[in-house]
């Protein structure tokens, strides 16, 4: 229906704008047709409209529909343009956001890297495979440390600061590497008193300094059992021998693989028992232990390949003190066992001595049987070839000293040494030898000092003779021959996997022990000057 047909009869648009609106809503022809009908210029059919009128009306309807379609088209075109613009804006915003996110993540990465670098300067969170698991455990028993008068160390930074080294150096010295281009130990052989050679692993300067600090500040303050005499202030082989002077029966027993049996896990358990956190105990035990290694050459470079479990190296200044602390319970049990059967007990490193007189002489066999059980319970093994029972009427020796009447040096050896000194004074150093050492000067100096420790009167005279000999023949002194640590041909394509040792649970109030040991070195250890500065 046309808008014009809705107008009241005889009315016209009020103004020109209304007229224009009516024409736009219908069409010009329809407006003229309706206006002519209104004015009487066009006949009004009472029935069907005329053909002309139908054409005009149809044309108007089509025009109206077309206008509506055009309006809808414009609306849709405007919507598409709007959507396109909206997408463009969103894409720009998305790109801007991605760029901001990228910059934010890059800054976070830089901040994280900087925080990591700063953390590495203050903390140690990784020290190698199979040893880093406890570095997150920082619970420290400060009361126990204070009661033992030990330094309270809460983290790696405080440990490094206390030792006066950077954290990076502490990490470098403690890091456990299976394969490495560097080593912290100089390895060489020295002659054994009983024949053969003994491997010595002497720490290099930086590690030795740290081990001395551990020895002085952590190990020395720990009270050692009175039966121990090895490598302790005011104690020596003389103090170890005196309790056995004049005894009817003296029993010498050696522990097999003494230092190799004290593994990294036992040392770590020791430091934890003292009150240190697992993190600090891990660092300290890594500083005090070292695995056996093989040397291999590859492309002109030397590689050091670990071949087993870490253990106390023979040559470290901290090793004897650690064994003395770990043997506290062993010494206590053996002392009680000795008293029970009428014996006296002392220990110098891995040499254990029992002596008795009177009724105690009847209990030798039962004592030996019980000793073996106690030693195995404490994680050590008796050397099957180093148990010696010296009975009444025989010469009795304890750590190299004769104890029949007083601690003394065997007479024949003293006579031979005096004879050697006379030969050296008259003939010179060339071609002469004392013991198994290839360095005659070091050998006679060491033995003269040994005599002085046992008998100061005799020793002082011998020390003077040695000085005169060295002064007289210094220009002819032969060069010292030291056997280098052997290099073994090892394939770097086949990694060596160290055997795993079971973790031994700690008992309350006790020190850790190990039940498994490996036969890697001779048991007899030298007693002179290996661990002095």
101-114: pLDDT as tens digits: 999 999 999 988 88
pLDDT band at 45 (very low <50, low <70, confident <90, very high): low
- What is the maximum span of the chain, computed from C-alpha positions, in angstroms? 167
- The yes-or-no verdict on residue 533 having pLDDT over 50 is no
Least confident window among 26-35, 188-197, 475-484: 475-484
| Dihedral of alpha carbons 463, 464, 466, 471, sign | positive
φ, ψ of residue 290 to 5 degrees: the values are -160, 140
Residue 155 has pLDDT above 60, yes or no: yes
The span from the CA of 236 to the CA of 241, in Å, is 9
Q: Compare 421 and 512 and report the one with higher pLDDT.
A: 421
**Residues 96-147 pLDDT 10s:** 999 999 999 999 999 888 887 777 777 898 999 999 989 989 999 999 999 9
Q: Report the candidate in 24, 27, 315, 94 with the shortest Cα–Cα distance to residue 190.
A: 315
pLDDT at 42: 64
Using 50, 70 and 90 to split pLDDT, how confident is the model at 529? very low
pLDDT at 517: 36
Asked if the model's pLDDT at residue 421 lies above 90, the reply is: yes
* Percentage of the chain exceeding pLDDT 90: 56
Report for 16-25, 194-203, 299-308: range of highest mean pLDDT:
299-308
Structure tokens at 388: 């010696």
Q: Could you give the CA distance from residue 178 to residue 386 in angstroms, rounded to a whole number?
A: 34
User: What pLDDT digit, counting tens, does each position of 304-322 carry?
Assistant: 999 999 999 999 999 999 9
Q: What is the pLDDT of residue 484?
A: 52
Instruction: Please answer whether residues 242 and 348 qualify as being in contact, where contact means their C-beta atoms are separated by less than 8 angstroms.
Output: no
Average per-residue pLDDT for the chain = 83
pLDDT over threshold 70, residue 8: no
| Range 32-40, long-range pairs (CB < 8 A, 24+ positions) | 34/2, 34/4, 34/5, 35/4, 38/9, 38/10
pLDDT at site 21: 74
Distance CA 197, CA 195 (A): 7
Residues 372-397: pLDDT tens digits?
Answer: 999 999 999 999 888 999 998 899 99
- Percent above pLDDT 70 for the chain: 82
pLDDT of residue 491: 40
Cβ atoms of 184 and 194 closer than 8 Å: no
Q: How far apart are the first and last CA of the chain?
A: 120
Cα angle 331-265-164, degrees, rounded to a multiple of 5: 95
Q: State the pLDDT at residue 68.
A: 83
Least reliable range by pLDDT among 65-69, 72-76, 96-100, 129-133: 72-76
- Give the position of tokens 């956190």: 277
pLDDT at position 159 is 95
pLDDT at res. 83: 81
Q: Is the pLDDT of residue 472 over 70?
A: yes
CA 30 to chain centre: 101
Give the DSSP per-residue string, 88-135: HHHHHHHHHHHHHHHHHHHHHHHHHHHHHHHHHHH-----STTT-TTT
Quote the pLDDT of residue 12: 66
- Residues 444, 477: Cα–Cα separation, whole Å: 13
Residue 268 has pLDDT above 50, yes or no: yes
Q: Mean pLDDT throughout 186-201?
A: 79
What whole-number distance in Å separates Cα of residue 180 and Cα of residue 185?
A: 13
The full DSSP string for 162-198 is HHTS-HHHHHHHH---SEES--SEEEEEEE-TTSSEE
Q: Roughly what angle, to the nearest 10 degrees, separates helices 319-326 and 328-340?
A: 50
In angstroms, how far is CA 186 from the centroid of its own chain?
21
Beta bridge partners of 253: 352
Residue 166 has a pLDDT of: 92
List the structure tokens of 202. 């002497």
| Residue 220 clears pLDDT 50, i.e. is over it | yes
387 neighbors 254 (Cβ within 8 angstroms)? yes
Q: What is the pLDDT of residue 59?
A: 77
Residue 514 is predicted with a pLDDT of 45
Average pLDDT for 292-302: 89
The answer to whether 13 and 25 are in contact (CB under 8 A) is no
Is pLDDT at 503 greater than 90 in this prediction? Answer: no
């Amino acid at each position: 229906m046309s808008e014009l047909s809705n107008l009241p009869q005889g009315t016209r648009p009020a103004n020109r704008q209304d007229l224009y609106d009516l024409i736009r809503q219908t069409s010009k022809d329809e407006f003229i047709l309706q206006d002519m009908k209104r004015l009487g210029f066009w006949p009004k059919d009472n029935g069907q409209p005329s053909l002309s009128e139908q054409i005009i009306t149809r044309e108007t309807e089509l025009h109206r529909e077309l206008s509506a379609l055009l309006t809808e088209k414009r609306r849709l075109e405007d919507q598409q343009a709007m959507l396109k613009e909206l997408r463009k804006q969103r894409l720009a915003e998305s790109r801007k956001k991605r760029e901001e996110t990228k910059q934010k993540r890059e800054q976070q990465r830089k901040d994280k890297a900087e925080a990591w670098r700063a953390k590495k300067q203050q903390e140690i969170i990784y020290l190698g495979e199979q040893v880093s698991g406890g570095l997150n455990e920082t619970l420290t028993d400060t009361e126990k440390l204070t009661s033992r008068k030990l330094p309270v160390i809460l983290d790696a930074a405080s440990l490094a600061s206390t030792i006066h080294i950077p954290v990076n150096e502490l990490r470098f010295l403690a890091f456990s590497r299976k394969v490495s281009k560097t080593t912290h130990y100089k390895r060489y052989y020295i002659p054994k008193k009983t024949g053969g050679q003994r491997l010595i692993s002497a720490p290099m300067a930086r590690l030795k300094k740290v081990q001395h600090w551990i020895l002085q500040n952590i190990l020395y303050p720990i009270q050692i059992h009175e039966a121990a005499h090895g490598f302790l202030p005011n104690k020596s082989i003389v103090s170890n021998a005196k309790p056995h002077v004049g005894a009817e029966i003296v029993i010498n027993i050696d522990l097999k693989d003494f230092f190799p049996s004290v593994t990294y896990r036992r040392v770590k358990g020791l430091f934890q028992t003292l009150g240190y956190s697992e993190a600090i105990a891990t660092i300290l035990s890594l500083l005090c232990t070292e695995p056996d290694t093989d040397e291999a050459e590859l492309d002109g470079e030397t590689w050091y390949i670990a071949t087993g479990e870490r253990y106390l190296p023979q040559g470290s200044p901290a090793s004897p003190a650690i064994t003395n602390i770990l043997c506290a319970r062993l010494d206590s049990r053996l002392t009680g066992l000795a008293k029970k059967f009428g014996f006296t007990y002392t220990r110098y490193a891995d040499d254990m001595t029992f002596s008795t007189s009177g009724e105690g002489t009847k209990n030798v066999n039962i004592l030996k049987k019980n000793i073996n059980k106690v030693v195995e319970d404490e994680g050590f093994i008796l050397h099957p070839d180093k148990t010696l029972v010296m009975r009444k009427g025989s010469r009795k020796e304890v750590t190299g000293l004769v104890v029949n009447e007083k601690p003394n040096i065997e007479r024949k050896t003293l006579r031979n040494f005096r004879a050697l000194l006379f030969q050296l004074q008259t003939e010179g150093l060339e071609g002469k030898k004392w013991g198994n050492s290839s360095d005659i000067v070091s050998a006679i100096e060491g033995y003269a000092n040994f005599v002085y420790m046992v008998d100061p009167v005799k020793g002082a005279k011998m020390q003077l003779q040695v000085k005169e000999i060295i002064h007289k023949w210094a220009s002819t002194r032969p060069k010292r021959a030291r056997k280098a640590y052997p290099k073994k041909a090892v394939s770097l394509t086949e990694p060596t996997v160290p055997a795993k040792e079971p973790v031994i649970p700690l008992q309350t109030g006790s020190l850790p022990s190990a039940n498994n040991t490996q036969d890697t070195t001779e048991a007899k250890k030298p007693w002179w000057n290996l661990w002095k500065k």
